[in-house]
Amino acid sequence: MIDQIDVSIRLRPIRFAFLVRPTDSIKLQRIFEVNTCLWGGMYNPIIPYFKKVPNWWDRNSKNFYSARKIIDYHLDFFEPDFVVESEKGMAECLEIGKDVTLHLDDILMPPSDRWSREAFGLNVFELYKYLYQKEFRFVQRHQHRIINVIPKNKTFRKFCSCIFGSFPNQGHLSYIEKGFRNAFAPEDILLNPEQLSSLYGSHFISAFKIGCEKIEVHHSDLPFPTLFLLNISDSRDLIDFWNLRVIEKNVLAIPIQWVAQLSHFCKNFILRNHRPLPDNPHGVMIHTIIQMPRSISNEEGQKIYDKYLKIKQKDAVVIRYWYPSFWRAPSDSVWSHLRPTLTSSIKRDKSEITGAKNSISFATLHPDFVQDYSNHYRWVNVVELENKIFNNDIATVFPNNFRDPSFPHFSRSKNILTTTEGFVLFPQYREFREYWQLFNGTTAFIKWFERKNIKAEISPSGKIALQVVKTLGGLNNLAAIAHPKIIRLLNKMAHKQIMIPTNDGGNQPKYYHGTTVQFSDLKKSLHEINESDLLRNFSIDGLISGNVIRLGLEVKCINCEQWNWYSIDETNYDLKCENCLNNFAFPSHQPSNRRVRWAYRVIGPFINPDYAGGAYSVALSVRFFTLLLGFHQGQFTWSTSLNLSFKTGEISEVDFILWYQRERPFYCNHKPVLVFGESKSFGKDSFNIHDIKRLKSIAKKFSGSVFVFSTMKENLSKKEQKLIRSFALWGREYNDFEESRAPVIVLTAAELFVHHDISIEWEQIGGKHASLIESELSIENLRVLSNLTQQLYLDLPSFEKWLEDRLKKKAKKEKEKQQIVIDSH
């Protein structure tokens, strides 16, 4: 069978994030002009840059974040392909690589320079030529309304540029505006309140909108329109409006200076949009959001609303005095803003994985309006590799690296970014073909750790676990052995290991053949298992096709009267006894059960004793995550046991490790989560204090990672519970990234031997398992799963209850301190 991998390729514009000081109106104006000249420029975010959080940032003056964190969170939300400084050196303190840092001068260049140096972004001039040739040179049956908005005076220049777009007036760039006028003959409109309300009520096409032709935008926002009040002279308000328009679909800017003249339009807009939410059976009505700017106080905003925007229609308006913190990490429990998805074209295909180097190839996409050659960075292809069947261990998920695209490298292509969208690459030419050499999971982790100055190598037990998975044909095929009785049977059949003395006084291991199982006995055992578990059907066929067991003949030696097992290939008329080492003839004259009988023996990695050196527990633990995600929930990159050598000299082993990523259909995926696993078999008190210390040390180095304790037992011992509980409570504390520093997940037999769906399994168990699964929907969220399994197996309260109790204790202590101060006076 030839391995294949699903490849999805999406074409979109390059996404630039512009860093600018909120008070720098000159640079802001230039950013508006640059984006007018870029394909898809209207969807490039503008990130406010400051070294100290200004008082106006939160109108309640409760700034919980440093300036650096606010900028970092903006970058994490938008995941730009390039960060553009409006001043040299802005990105230096943000730990952004030089390869993805640009200056404003790098975007639009004189035509004479475009071939002599690298330039960035796709100039709309090529789009204008294409649209003219295809559509606008012919007489239109229906007159288009392409407009060029001219500010009434200089005061409104930035506002016009922000809302409708404007072109640079530098001489070497004047050809872009000329191309706009020659191709479309736009209608010049002198902006005033009447014209603005007229434009908002019509289907006009501005320079910004025509610069986004050939792009389909998929927003995640709810269908609630927004009227954004802003001060045309305040750069802060313009930046806020710009970014909100990027992520929300229906946002209109209402200048405070014209709110009296636009009052009638605004009220009609509110009433027109107050209608039932489509396809909602609960009678929910659409309301209009009045977004108040940060440049005015609550009192001023309320006065403006009461005087100019208030209507009698109940529940038609929601006033939002706070600016949305869209850059905060999204939550599963409440609706959150998501970055819109931009698509020019998309292609899905299957690519064969060829050769020992796991090579694939695919054709890239390009805009149909571009020239064959130009600068190196004109558009983006977002590539998603999907390996949801898990029949191989190809790495498809990597940590996000848009800040420093130094890993991974699949080809000679420069700057492959790994983002929540997928792999971002920059094809240089039309009809370009990519050739990639992919990694398996183990290689991916070893290379990644190497980038962090950590030496990683797969351990002997890791090799056995990996071989178990490969022998069965992939993680999903582990279902053939996913039952405790089968695991115990395989272990009973495994080769036994003893230590024998050597000539030098030492010892060396020697393996003896394990127990064989006759056909009738194996059939009976599997029948009993199937009788007790009606959802599954374990079979001899499944074990044979999975290369777990092999049929052979047991023959009793005529010399020593001991039984020997021979595979069918080895069976001959002349046999050698494994016990006395003498040859003897096959008892063809007596082929009865007294001398000959059919029997099975484990083969390959399954011959290893002690539950294949712990490989069964490791393999089944990794398999659990395939079932947790299901076919449509996401995917992960995995590796079995790795030995990690740190620069401090410390050496740690992890039994398995994952980059685990949940999907969001139609949107950017969740960020990958790093998972470390410690896995045990059936032994009592298997988890010990040394495991806890080792994993806590790793947790301190990789804050925010998830830690899994898995066992094939049904329950932990009291001693194990106590040890893991202490680690889990320590892990619940928050780190600098506003997340638990080490969420702990506990997996037992109920999870490792699950047939298909963990929710169904817990419902069948009943009791606390069933009650918890009823109240939770996002169990594939590892933090949710952590919360549930800690309640089930560690007897801990829910995270929410634990946090509430902590806050109460903290408040009580503060109150006691205050009382002591009062009493002392």
Band the pLDDT of 431: cuts 50, 70, 90.
confident
797-820: average pLDDT: 85
| Percent of the residues in the chain that have a pLDDT greater than 70, as a whole number | 93
Claim to verify: residue 638 and residue 531 sit in the same structural domain: no
341-360: average pLDDT: 89
Among candidate residues 435, 456, 477, the one where a domain is terminated: 456
Tell me, yes or no, whether 227 lies in a domain.
no
pLDDT tens by residue, 680-694: 999 999 999 999 999
Is residue 27 scored above 60 in pLDDT? yes
Among candidate residues 610, 627, 643, the one where a domain is terminated: 610
Tell me, yes or no, whether 241 lies in a domain.
no
Is residue 814 scored above 90 in pLDDT? no
More confident residue, 824 or 29: 29
Half-sphere exposure of 31 (CA within 13 A, CB side): 31
Claim to verify: residue 588 and residue 618 sit in the same structural domain: no
300-310: average pLDDT: 95
Is residue 414 scored above 90 in pLDDT? no
Lowest mean pLDDT among 44-53, 79-88, 91-100, 276-285: 276-285
Separation of alpha carbons 759 and 633, rounded Å: 14
Among candidate residues 610, 632, 663, the one where a domain is terminated: 610
- Crossing angle of helices 782-793 and 799-824, in 10° steps, is 80
Tell me, yes or no, whether 702 lies in a domain.
yes
Tell me, yes or no, whether 19 lies in a domain.
no
Separation of alpha carbons 132 and 755, rounded Å: 60
Separation of alpha carbons 362 and 777, rounded Å: 37
Query: Tokens representing 161?
Result: 């540029």
376-382: average pLDDT: 90
Claim to verify: residue 726 and residue 661 sit in the same structural domain: yes
More confident residue, 215 or 3: 215
Claim to verify: residue 756 and residue 805 sit in the same structural domain: yes
Tell me, yes or no, whether 558 lies in a domain.
yes
Lowest mean pLDDT among 347-356, 463-472, 501-510: 501-510
Separation of alpha carbons 540 and 530, rounded Å: 12
187-195: average pLDDT: 94
Report the mean per-residue pLDDT for the chain.
89
pLDDT at 428: 82
Which structural domain, as residue segments, surrounds residue 801?
614-809
* DSSP secondary structure code for residue 682 in this structure: S
pLDDT at 757: 86
Claim to verify: residue 491 and residue 519 sit in the same structural domain: yes
More confident residue, 542 or 330: 542
Claim to verify: residue 440 and residue 588 sit in the same structural domain: no
Claim to verify: residue 574 and residue 624 sit in the same structural domain: no
pLDDT tens by residue, 270-295: 999 998 888 777 778 899 999 999 99
More confident residue, 283 or 799: 799
523-536: average pLDDT: 86
Tell me, yes or no, whether 449 lies in a domain.
yes
Band the pLDDT of 114: cuts 50, 70, 90.
very low
Query: Tokens representing 33?
Result: 């002009």
How many domains does the chain fold into? 3
Claim to verify: residue 445 and residue 470 sit in the same structural domain: no
Tell me, yes or no, whether 330 lies in a domain.
no
pLDDT at 337: 86
Claim to verify: residue 507 and residue 590 sit in the same structural domain: yes
pLDDT at 1: 45
Q: Got the DSSP string for 205-246? A: B-HHHHTTTT-EEE--S-S--EEEEE-TT-HHHHHHHHHHHH
pLDDT at 373: 67
DSSP SS3 for 183: helix
pLDDT tens by residue, 144-161: 789 999 998 889 999 999
Claim to verify: residue 800 and residue 655 sit in the same structural domain: yes
pLDDT at 341: 94
52 burial (CB, 10 Å; 0-12 / 13-18 / 19+) is exposed
Claim to verify: residue 562 and residue 657 sit in the same structural domain: no
Is residue 375 scored above 70 in pLDDT? no
187-208: average pLDDT: 93
Is residue 110 scored above 60 in pLDDT? no
pLDDT at 552: 92
pLDDT tens by residue, 161-185: 999 999 998 777 889 999 999 999 9
Claim to verify: residue 391 and residue 488 sit in the same structural domain: no
pLDDT at 336: 80
SS3 assignment for 617-664: HHHHHHHHHHHHHCCCCEEEEEEEEEEEECCCCCEEEEEEEEEEEECC
Query: Tokens representing 641?
Result: 């046991």
Is residue 74 scored above 50 in pLDDT? yes
Band the pLDDT of 498: cuts 50, 70, 90.
low
SS3 assignment for 498-517: EEEECCCCCEEEEEECCCCE
Separation of alpha carbons 397 and 356, rounded Å: 20
Tell me, yes or no, whether 370 lies in a domain.
yes
More confident residue, 355 or 201: 201
Lowest mean pLDDT among 102-116, 230-244, 431-445, 534-548: 102-116
In 113-177, beta strands by DSSP E: 147-150
520-524: average pLDDT: 90
61-71: average pLDDT: 81
Q: What is the dihedral of CA 524, 538, 464, 516, to 10 degrees?
A: 20
pLDDT tens by residue, 117-149: 457 899 999 999 999 988 776 655 556 789 999
pLDDT tens by residue, 724-770: 999 999 999 988 777 899 999 999 999 999 988 898 899 999 999 99
Q: What are the backbone angles phi and psi of residue 6, rounded to the nearest 5°?
A: -75, 130
